[in-house]
């Protein structure tokens, strides 16, 4: 089955700096890659996603890049703010797998004011 690895497990940045979180996946058939943000005690919420027919996607301060050949994708957050502090999860799913998501282990991002 699919295996998703995520690095780093913790990331501390100064407010205004950029943050990058990286994920690798094992199943070359995977074609959908969402990123979820989970604040303490709250539900995971989708912040951005990318499909395998696209190499990069941007939404304001957040961007995701996908390298299908290397089977890795990354989340980039620019101009970080204290409210960006949370745990971020990457995930992958395969076609016709009913949106079954395989998650990475998570990255705890701390943005220091």
Footprint of other proteins on this chain (CB under 8 A)? 1, 4, 6, 31-32, 34, 36, 42-46, 49, 51, 89, 91, 93, 95-106
Q: Which is nearer to other proteins, 71 or 103 (CB)?
A: 103
Our CA dihedral for 21, 54, 35, 58, rounded to 10 degrees, sits at 80
Task: Please return the burial class of 63, using the count of CB atoms within 10 Å of its CB with bins 0-12, 13-18 and 19+.
Answer: middle
State in angstroms the smallest separation of the CB of 29 from other proteins.
12
Least distance in angstroms from the C-beta of 15 to other proteins = 25
Nearest residue (CB) to other proteins, 36 versus 73:
36
The smaller minimum CB distance to other proteins, of residues 77 and 92, is found at 92
- Are 1 and 102 a contacting pair, CB within 8 Å? yes
Q: Least Å distance between CB 88 and other proteins?
A: 10
The token duo for 13 is: 């940045």
Cβ of residue 92: shortest distance to other proteins, in angstroms?
A: 9
Any idea of the CA torsion for 23, 103, 3, 78, to the nearest 10 degrees? 0
């Amino acid at each position: 089955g699919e295996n998703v690895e995520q690095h780093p497990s913790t990331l501390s940045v100064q407010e205004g700096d950029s943050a990058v979180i990286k994920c690798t996946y094992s199943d070359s058939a995977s074609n959908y890659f969402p990123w979820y943000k989970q604040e303490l005690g709250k539900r995971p919420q989708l912040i951005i996603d990318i499909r395998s027919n696209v190499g990069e996607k941007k939404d304001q301060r957040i961007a995701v890049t996908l390298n299908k050949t290397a089977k890795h994708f990354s989340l980039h957050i620019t101009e970080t703010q204290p409210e960006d502090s949370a745990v971020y999860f990457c995930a992958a799913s395969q076609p016709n797998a009913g949106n079954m998501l395989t998650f990475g282990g998570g990255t705890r991002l701390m943005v220091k004011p």
